[in-house]
Structure 1
Amino acid sequence: MAGPAYTNLGFPPGSRVQVKPEAGARLAGKTGRVVGGGFYPKSLRLVLDGAKVPITLHVNYVAAIDDDVDPMKSD
């Protein structure tokens, strides 16, 4: 049941995300990659940058990072 949960949440595996401040001081601002849906509805499994094991967070605590945007490129 946990597998298809990510498709309904808009975060396919491999998506880059950043943890929102609402998640707490320890995790706020950290970035990582989604590895799949969690056991519970509206939960995601993600591996934070520099970590070896995945964690589970509610979808409300993460925000998508757009990999296609180049911060050095000007319009």
Structure 2
Amino acid sequence: MTVIIICSMALTPLMVILHDRLAPGAALSADGVEAPKDLKARILLIGFDRVGQIVSQPLLARGHSLSIIEPTPA
């Protein structure tokens, strides 16, 4: 049992590397994605959910301008 566990632990990283080199990569597609327009602010904030709103508050309080990209508007 111990030998099997040691062999699997040693061979798993090698198999992952081999898979990454031999398997064809997935093609990325930008279909349905709009190009952002009029981004003139110095800070780009991607995502304006709960964390994005928390991050934006101190930046706005210090007078920074933000450009916000929201991938899933509600």
- Shorter-chain TM-score range: under 0.3
TM (norm. structure 1) is 0.21
Bigger fraction of residues in strand: 1
